[in-house]
Structure formats: C-alpha cells, structure tokens
Structure 1
Amino acid sequence: MSAVQSRLVIRLFATFVWFTVLAGQFWRNLGGWWGFGAIAVIVVIGSVIGLSTQRHNARRRATANAATATATATATATATRLNAAPANASAVSSHADTEASVPVHADGAAAVSTTAAPTPAQDDTPTDRDIARGNTYQAALAPALNWRKFPKTITAFLLLATLSIAWSYYPGASALGITLQLITTLAALFLAVTLTWPELLRTLAGALRWVLALSLVFELFVAVVIRNPVLPFFVDYGNAKVPDAFYWSQGLLLAGGPIEGIVANRNLLGFIALTAIIVFIVQLRARLVKRGAGLVWLGLAVGMLLLTRSATVTVSLVAVVAALLFALWARRLHDQHRRPLYLVAAASVLAVAAALALFSSQLFGLLGRSEDLTGRFDIWASVTNLAQERPVFGWGWVSYWVPWVEPFNDLAVRKGVTYLQAHNAWLDVWLQLGIVGVILFAALVFSTLWRAWFLAVDRPRLGIEDTEPFAVSALLPLLLLAALIAQSVAESRLLIESGWVILIVLAVVTKRQQHAPRPMP
C-alpha cells in the first residue's frame, strides 16, 4: 500500500473513531450493548494496529536516516583525503623541472576530479512545514510519540484509578470501568500520535458533520413520518410507563425542539454542535475548507445548537467566547505586558462567582432552569455525603456509574430515572478517587490548559526569532478546553467517551508542540 493510500485509510478510521466516541449512544441504541461492544473491539484493534504501524515506520525511518548519515560522513571524509593528495604532490614536485611537472600535476588533478565522492542520497526527512501542512507522504513519516515527553499527569491519574481496585467497594465494577477507561485512552492516543494537526482537524470535523447530518435526518424522519416519540431499538419496556429521559427522540423538531439527535440527549447534542461551531470557524478562518461549504455546515451547527435548548451548553458557549476574547487580547500584547489582562481575567472569574452566589435563582431563570438546576443540587448533595465517608482515596474508580452495584443503584434517582453520573466531573472524581484523585485530575486538566493558553497567545517559535505569524488553529485547544471545563461543572462527560478523548488528545498534542514546535495552519 502506498503512503498516500495508507494515510487515507488512517484518516477514514480516525473519523470512525471520532464518530464512535462522539455518538456512542447511537451505536448502543441501534445495536444494544453487544453491538456497541463489537464496535469497541474494532476501535481497539484498529488503534493498536495504527500505533504499531506508526512506531514501526518511525524506527525504520530512524534506521534509514542513520545509514544515510553514515554514508554521507564516509563520502565526505574520502573526498577530503583525495582533494588533499594533489596539494601534497605539488609540494614535492616543486623542486623538479616545471615543464615536466605540469602535465603530471594536471593528470593527477584530472584523476582526482573524476574520482570525487559520490553525491549523497537526497534526504527526504519531513520538515516541520511538511508535517504541519498534512502532506500525505511526509505525514506518513512523522515521528512516533516520544514517551519520555508524554504527559506524566495522564499516567499518574490512570495509575491511581488502576490501583483503586485494591480498596474499591466494588472491585468487579472498578475492573470493568478501568478497562473501559484504558480503551478510551488507547483510542485517544491513536488519534494524537498517528495524525498530524491538520489531519486531526479534518477527521474531527468530518465526524462532527456526520453526527449533525444524521441527527437532522433522524429528527426529521421521526417528526414527519413516525410522529411519535421513539425508544431505543434494543429495549422492550412493555406496557410500563416510560420516563421521558429514556426516549431516543421526542420528535419535536417541527415544534422548535428540544431535540436529542442520534445521541439521544439534548445536552450532549448541544455540546457536539458547540464543538462543531468551534472547529468549523477555525477551518474557515485558516482557509482549510471551501468558504461556501464551510458556511453551510457552520449554519447547520448553529441551528442544531439552538434547537437543543441546552442551558449547560449556553454556559459553555459563554466560556468559549470569553476565552477567545482574552486570547485575542493577549496576542496584541507583549508577553511581559500581560499583567493587566490576567488581573482582568481574575476579576471576571470572581465577579461571575459572586453573581452566581447572589443572583443564582434569577440567572437560572434566564437559562430556563429551576432553582435546583433540574435536580442537580439533590444529586450533588447525595454524592458529597457519600464522598465524605471516604474522602482521601474514594470508593474506587468506575468511570460511568454501574446501576447494578451499591451505592450507585439508588444514589441519584429522580422521576423514576436512575442517573449514572454526578453531573459534575469534579465531584465524580472526588467520590471515586478521593482528594488525591481530584489533585491529579486537576493537574491533568490545568496543565493542559496552561500549555493550550500559551500555544494560543504566543507567536510560534520555529527558529531563533519569534517572527512567525499567529496560527488560527492554535486557538482550537484553548477553546475546546474552555468548553469542556465549563461543561464539567454540570456534567461528568469530561471523564468518559468524547470528553476524555478530547482531553487526552489535547494533553498529548500540546505537550509535543511544547517540546518540538511545528507550524500550524
């Protein structure tokens, strides 16, 4: 298989991986847990093959470069010795007859000229710009991840989660949760290691388009053809009354929403739409897509966001806009003159916190939410009380709650629905891994945010001077992290599926960019 074909296969599989982590509920509603398990096996096998191939290519490339360097050094040394020979011959013959020495010297010079060192083989090692621009052949030669520069916070958090089996209240569920967490991490590493930055943008955008388009078609079909709420295919509730939260779609598209799309959750669909808005705008501004098509997809993403009517996503949108404004402001300032910006940012955070404390009911009303945030306060209280029983190391990692074991079987029940998350990622980590887990998780999130901030606001330093223009796509990690962190206050999705994958991908990519800067579109 040629390099171009190989990159095409990798990009197609990467798009499939992105789609799966974004719309895992689609596979579960369509084929049940067994069907989703089959999809997960495909993702695992493909990710392992992709990572192994990338590592093999990197080793083969390193061997070839070493051989080329050795051959070049040998040829250079040989040429130096041969060129030095005529000079020595000329010095010895200076005492001889000049007329006799001239032809001898000329012949010798001619001999040296014809036996000059061979031209070294052309070095086609990928340059920074080749790789950053996503050239298909050069991208195939991109080096594998340097594990010594791998984010240590990822390793520390996963190690703590794995060790928590030893003190877990539910060791079997913990083993299952950790296995799923490691599988999700493996998929994230495949995306971060095997793809160049433009390919990451391209495959993520492709998966987002598929989710949005299929969601629109699905909701339109339910609203126009079925005209009734639709349940997942693999569940049979009989004649029992089914809570609204269990439906795949309520079929409210023509009524103006809210809609759930193929992911069966309006908050999740809204966040996917917000992610799409960020990615599509970056692609348009970086001129990575045609303007007309880009605007159409951007319009669809905005429309889907509005139709979800998600208050959680509205808060995330505000956080993204704030992060963008501060980043653009920082780009206009020298790195030593940003203290006023940081003071304003800190004051803004304090002002938002004060507003929430003093005017929470009014703000929740503006967002269309009850004073208890649709039951979240009760869930948070239950989780907090349970976490306080094991505050240091927690009850054991399980990721997404499993409803068949205590204490999750009745920890968060509302209107007949057993919720399987704390609706706050930080409380979830505290419950499962204690204060130690919260510290490691915060280190992972905010170290990634730190790198993403300076990647966004500093000029690329690809040489001695930092004269390179700002890259539009360098803003993407910061904006995505701002959205994820804002969402983590009301949802625990930062710990599972697409939230965890995006976090790990950004942690690895920003770390590599920090140690080996490469141009970005």
Structure 2
Amino acid sequence: MLKIPRIIEYIFVCFGLWFFLGNPINLITSGGAGQLVDVSEANSNFLLPAISMLLYMVATVGILLRWKLILARLKSSPQSLLLVAFLILIFISPEWSARPNISSRRSILFLGSTAFAIFFSFSFSFKQQLRFLAIALCINTFVCFLMGALLPKWGVMHVPPHTGAWRGVYTHKNKLGAQMALSAVFLLTTQYINLFKGHWKQIIKVSILLAAFMVIASKSTTALLASFTMALTFFVCNALKLNYRFMVIAISSIVLTAGSAIVYIQANAEALLGALGKGTDISGRDELWPAVMHMVSQKPFLGYGYEGFWGPAGGPADLLRQLVGWPAPNAHSGFLEILLAVGWIGGILFFISFFITVTKSVQLVRITKQSYAICPVIILVFLTLSNMTESNLFVRDSWILYVWAALSSIPILSTWSAEEAERDDSADYPPTVSYERQPELSGQATQTS
C-alpha cells in the first residue's frame, strides 16, 4: 500500500490552507493596481483554478487512500448526510442552470474544495488541524500586511469611495477586514491552548496585533462588528465550561451587556453609521435584498443553478439590476446566494445542516470543557456574520471552513475522553501522532496511510 511521508502531508495542508484563505494571484494578474478589481474577470485567470485543481486532486487521492476510515466517520453524523445531499444538488444544478457551462465547471471546483476540507478534517487529530489553521492564518496575516505596507499599489484601494482602505491580497477591503477579524480572534483563542511552544508563541502574538491593525485599516464596518461579536462569543463559550450556577450568572451578564449595547446602537443607528461613513440603507442592500427574494420566488424550488444567476448582460440578473437601479455583482448575502443557486430545496438542506453543526459545536464546548473546542464556534459565528452582508459562503475559503466546522466534532464527540485530551495537550509541535483518534480504527488508518 502506498505510504506518503507525514511531513509531505503537513506541508501540503499548510500550503493549501494558506492558498485558499488568501493569495494575491487574482489581485496581481488582474492588473488591479489602484482600482476596483472586477472579480468575475479575475476568476477567469487560468492560474488560480489550475493550482486549485491540483490541490483538489491531491486531496482526493488522500481521501481514497483512507476511504474506509472517512466513510465510517461520515456515517456517524447526520449533518454529513445533509451535506452530501446538498453537494449532489450543486453537482446536478447545471441541468437547470441559466448558465450551464459556467455551473458545470464551477460545481466541479466546489466539490474539489469540499474534498480538500474532508481530507483536512479526517486525516489529522483535532489539535493538529488547529495548528495548521493557525499557521495558515499567520502566514496570510503577514503577507497581507506586507502587501499593504510595502506594495500599496496593490495592497491599498485608490478609487472613491474606498480610497486609502487596505485590501491586502484581496480584491476588496471588506474581504481583508473579515479575514483579519477572524485571524485576530481565532489566534487569540489559540493562546489559551497548548498548541505551540517557543518562538511560535511570539509569532502568534505579533500576528494578532497585525490582524487587529488591518481590521481598522480596512475601514470595514462589518469587520469591526465581526471582531466584537466573535470576541463576545469567546467569552460566552468559556462561560459554558463553568458549572451550571456560575454558567447561568456569567451568560446572563454577557447577554445583558450585549443587549444593552444593541438597544443603544438601534437608538443611535443613524448617528453611529454616519460617523463611519455609512447610511441606514446599508449601502443599497435594503433595496437589493427584496429584489433578490423576488427573483427567488420566480424559481423557488431549484433556483437558477450554481453560479447560474449572476453574470454578464443577457442573464437573469439583468431584471434584478433594473429593479434596483445599479449593477449589483452579487446578492451581498451568502444565505440568499444559496436560494438563488439551488432554491428552497437546497436552502432547507443547508440550513438544517448549519443548525445541527452549531448545536454540535456548542455541545463540544460543553462536553469537553476544553478551550480548543471553542474554535469551531468562532468559525461558525464568523461565517454567519460575514455572509449577512457579503456573498462569501460559496467562496473556497469560507466553504472549506464551514465543512471543517461541520465535520470536526464527529470523532471527538464519539470518542472523547479526559485522558485522551490530556495526552493531546502534552504533544510537541510538530506533532507525530498518526491519523487515528478512534481506537477501533487505528489499525485501519495505519494501513491506509
């Protein structure tokens, strides 16, 4: 049986995560210096999908080499079956898509990103996965900072109304703000976990400071809100680890504080948004979202196919753009994009899967009472917030993070024990443990590696 050196898998996963979380290929090859980058044209560049397909193929081979282990774990989770049904719907959606050729090609890439997420979720222990995510986020943070500080021609936007806002390696400032908000809170969470030793701890601290700086430099209101909410989530999850009496007191205090802040923000929304250069129309989204729902009602069951709605002139998006009076590039909501792509049938499959994933992730915190169990919850909160006003859910990095959050709790909730957690805590980096977390599958995992 083919045996792949473990160090090669470490390098592959770290590179893959960094590549999907943020690389400058689109920005540089599009010639987007000093201007707003046309994402649809940037995505047409052959280099990005070529590298992506290579990573997907390698991940698929890795899945095939340990298919029994992965299949056994997938069978033990109800959200996995819903996820598979959702993926099947995406894959066959070109049959009714308004742009079948585009839907066909991009649905394959979408399945490839899912394969990478599955390989990542089931080929390493949970703490190894957190290490790889933390390393990828650190690399991305440093690269984004260097792009903004040393290469402002690309790393900073120069066209009104976003003049001076940092965008790092991304095509828009909002993407940088969202990713840096995630990096800051996620890396801060890892400080409470015994993941790294020596110089890595200092690198994590510097990355947190740089990420926090770039949240502000991006001038993204959504990123600021996401940072605050994820930090609040961190405190709530830590409260879940307390005994019942103190847990109720702590959560009640947090909810009371957050509720008071929300009431204050609602009462002073116009003044606060004005101070941030925003309006109460949420940059035109108050007109866009009703128009999107109108288009969903025209094809409510199966939608317009994956990536089949938005596109150049002559597509179904033309009517929507006439309704709103401006050239909307997307729905500015990841959840509405699901309804446009696969209708309410796909939407229900996803939303049920999402609810189960949230429930399992909170359960993971409560059962294990370990700080590392908070990380999937942080990811889910980030995905929820970032997809309320932006269409990021179907983007490779967001989808990989969601699949990871959906699958990461499966082996832990089924086999977790205090002794195993203590042994995992004492592991040195780089880790040397093998694939198994389930004792009964350890022999099988070793044979397939």
Q: Same fold (TM over 0.5)?
A: yes
For 1:173, the equivalent position in structure 2 comes to: 102
Distance 1:281 1:347 in 2: 24
- Which residue of structure 2 lines up, in the alignment, with residue 486 of structure 1? 385
The answer as to whether partners of 1:15 and 1:204 remain within 8 angstroms in 2 is yes
Counterparts in 2 of 1:36-185, with a 5 A limit? Answer: 36-55=48-67, 146-150=73-77, 151-185=80-114
| Structure 1 residue aligned with 2:329 | 420
The equivalent position to 1:507 in structure 2, one of 391, 406, 414, is 406
Distance 1:345 1:152, change over 3 A: farther
Q: What's 2:12 paired with?
A: 13
| 1:421-452: CA deviation from partner (whole Å, max 9, x where unpaired) | 21112221222222222221211212111111
The equivalent of 2:118 in structure 1 is 189
Q: Within 5 Å, give how 1:26-425 maps onto structure 2.
A: 26-31=24-29, 33-55=45-67, 146-150=73-77, 151-223=80-152, 229-230=153-154, 249-250=156-157, 257-289=164-196, 290=198, 291-334=201-244, 360-398=269-307, 401-403=310-312, 406-408=315-317, 411-412=320-321, 418-425=327-334
Structure 2 counterpart SS, 1:219: helix
Using the alignment, how far apart are the partners of 1:353 and 1:438 within structure 2?
A: 29
Stretch deviating more after TM superposition (400-409 or 504-513): 400-409
Following superposition, the deviation at residue 399 of structure 1 comes to 7.5
Kept after mapping to 1: 8 A contact 2:102/2:308: no
Deviations 1:48-97, CA, capped at 9 Å, x for gaps: 222233448x6xxxxxxxxxxxxxxxxxxxxxxxxxxxxxxxxxxxxxxx
Deviates more, 1:364-373 or 1:409-418: 409-418
Relative distance call for 1:328 and 1:37 in structure 2 (3 A) is closer
Q: How far does residue 12 in structure 1 lie from its aligned partner after superposition?
A: 0.9
**Aligned match of 2:362:** 453
1:270–1:304 CA contact under 8 A, matched in 2: yes
Q: Deviations over 1:280-307 (max 9, x none)?
A: 2232211322343332222122112221
1:476 aligns with 2:367: no
Deviates more, 1:499-508 or 1:269-278: 269-278
1:388 partner letter? S
Q: TM-score, normalised by structure 2?
A: 0.78
State the 1:416 CA deviation.
11
Q: Is the contact between residue 144 and residue 193 of structure 1 (CA under 8 Å) also seen in structure 2? A: no
Quickly say closer, same or farther: Cα 1:414–1:510, change in 2 above 3 A. farther
Cα drift, residue 343 of structure 1: 7.9
Scaled by the length of structure 1, the TM-score of the pair is 0.68
Partner Cα separation in structure 2 for residue 413 and residue 216 of structure 1: 39
Distance 1:443 1:487 in 2: 19
The residue aligned with 1:23 is 22
2:97 and 2:306 in contact (8 A); partners too: yes
Deviations 1:237-263 (A, max 9, x none): xxxxxxxxxxx63369xx995200012
Contact 2:331–2:390 (Cα < 8 Å) also in 1: yes
Q: CA deviation at 1:17?
A: 1.2
Distance in structure 1 (CA, Å) of the matches to 2:118 and 2:289: 32
Alignment partners' CA distance in 2, 1:158 and 1:348? 40
User: Residues 193 and 354 of structure 1: is their aligned pair in 2 closer, same or farther, counting only changes over 3 Å?
Assistant: same
Residue deviations 1:125-158 (CA, integer Å, cap 9, x gap): xxxxxxxxxxxxxxxxxx7753312511211211
Match of 1:398, SS? Answer: coil
Q: CA RMSD in A?
A: 3.5
The structure-2 alpha-carbon separation of the partners of 1:146 and 1:173, relative to structure 1 and needing over 3 Å to count, comes to same
Alignment length (residue pairs): 399
Distance in structure 2 (CA, Å) of the matches to 1:348 and 1:437: 37
> What amino acid is aligned across from residue 46 of structure 1 in structure 2?
V
Where does the alignment leave 5 or more consecutive residues of structure 1 unmatched?
59-142, 224-228, 231-247, 461-469
Counterparts of 1:363 and 1:388, CA distance in 2? 35
Distance 1:481 1:51, change over 3 A: same
Cα deviation code 1:349-385 (max 9, x no counterpart): 9888877776543453354422222222232233122
* CA gap 1:39/1:320 in 2 versus in 1, 3 angstroms: same
Larger RCO of the pair (alpha carbons < 8 Å, separation 6+): 2
Instruction: Please give the alpha-carbon distance, in whole angstroms, between the structure 1 residues aligned to 2:323 and 2:5.
Output: 50
Aligned-partner residue type, residue 149 of structure 1: S
Q: Determine the C-alpha separation between the residues in 1 that align with 2:89 and 2:405.
A: 21
**Identical pairs, percent:** 20
2:119 aligned partner, one-letter code: F
Structure 2 gaps, min length 5: 30-41, 426-449
The residue type paired with residue 274 of structure 1 is: A
**Corresponding residue for 1:498?**
397
* 1:270 maps to amino acid: G
Match of 2:441 in 1: none
Paired residue type of 2:382: A
Distance 2:393 2:151 in 1: 30
The AA in structure 2 aligned to 1:53 is L
| Separation (CA, whole Å) in 1 of partners of 2:156 and 2:219 | 14
- In structure 2, distance between residues paired with 1:23 and 1:55: 29
Per-residue CA deviations over 1:152-193 (Å, capped at 9, x if unaligned) read 121121122234334333333332332222111112112112
Letter in 1 for 2:58: G
Per-residue deviation, 1:406: 0.6
User: Which residue of the partner structure matches residue 91 of structure 1?
Assistant: none
